[in-house]
Amino acid sequence: MDCRACMSPIATLLYSDQAAGDVIDFMRTHHMEMVPIVDRDRKYVGLVTTEKLMRWLLPRSLGMMRGLKHASYLRESRDDLLARMEVIRATPVNELISKGVESVHPDDALADALKLISDRQFVVPVLDDKGVLLGVISYFSIMHAVEAGEDES
């Protein structure tokens, strides 16, 4: 099986020049923990992940402290969190993108995407030869493709 057989097409494009708030709203509405971001030419730029968003939500003092395991001494109000959330929402999404994400080509063996997913990259972008985003592969898209193939047999 190749990656093309298991990729999900992208129904809604999210652009690198959008405000992060638009992307966050999309993620919340669709219950997505990571989404691919493209430029206006549909070229893949990177992923926005809830993991990265949560790091931005941390108080700045905690974000700079490496190795700190507990922050129970820190008491914050809802207003403190809301203020940081508003800063994040106004930030250009380009600043929140995780760019070190590996991708696959539609003709690559599915095993390449499976390896990336098993190494904790839960969404694998599928790009053409010019870097244009064609779709994504996830655990769920693989299961859907495999089960749909069984129904056709």
Q: Would you kindly state where each structural domain of the chain is located, as residue ranges?
A: 3-152
Closest CA to 8 of 122, 114, 125, 150: 125
Give the percent of the chain with pLDDT over 70.
87
pLDDT at position 68 is 53
Residue 55 — very low, low, confident or very high, per pLDDT cuts 50/70/90? confident
Mean pLDDT in residue range 49-77 = 68
Q: What is the pLDDT of residues 7-53, one digit of tens each?
A: 999 989 999 999 999 999 999 999 999 999 999 999 999 999 998 89
Beta 8-9 vs 34-38: how paired, if at all? unpaired
How confident is the model at residue 99, as a pLDDT?
81
Class of the domain covering 3-152:
alpha beta
- For the packed helices 139-152 and 110-118, what is the interaxial angle rounded to 10 degrees? 140
Q: What is the pLDDT of residue 153?
A: 41
pLDDT band at 58 (very low <50, low <70, confident <90, very high): confident
Window from 25-29, 42-46, 89-93, 96-100 with minimum mean pLDDT: 96-100
